[in-house]
């Protein structure tokens, strides 16, 4: 689900596809949390665009982007989020 600014923070990890350790290190380095992140959802830019959303590659920090273009209203946002979830692949850290 997007935040109050109607953005969903993501990282562009395509170049790390064959190096899982680098993806998890990126999460550990840039996502504030009290414990290690144990899972992630991988999704393509094409799937995001098919859900009528867009990507803002701001690179703050490096490789960061936001999924933007969310509709008004939580119910409609949930519909979009479910569409993204159905297109994504859940990856559990081992």
Q: CA–CA separation, 40 vs 86, rounded Å?
A: 14
β-strand partners of 92: 39
* Predicted model pTM: 0.86
Mind listing the pLDDT tens digit for each residue in 30-87? 887 777 788 999 999 999 999 999 999 999 998 999 999 999 999 999 999 999 999 9
Report in angstroms the alpha-carbon separations of 34 from 12, 30, 38: 23, 12, 12
For the chain, give the longest Cα–Cα distance.
38
């Amino acid at each position: 689900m997007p935040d109050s600014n109607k953005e969903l923070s993501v990282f562009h990890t395509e170049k790390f596809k064959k190096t899982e350790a680098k993806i998890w290190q990126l999460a550990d380095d840039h996502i504030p949390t009290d414990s290690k992140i144990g899972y992630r959802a991988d999704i393509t830019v094409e799937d995001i665009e098919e859900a009528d959303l867009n990507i803002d590659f701001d690179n703050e920090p490096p490789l960061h982007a936001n999924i933007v273009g969310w509709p008004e209203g939580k119910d409609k946002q949930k519909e979009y989020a479910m569409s993204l979830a159905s297109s994504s692949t859940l990856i559990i850290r081992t």
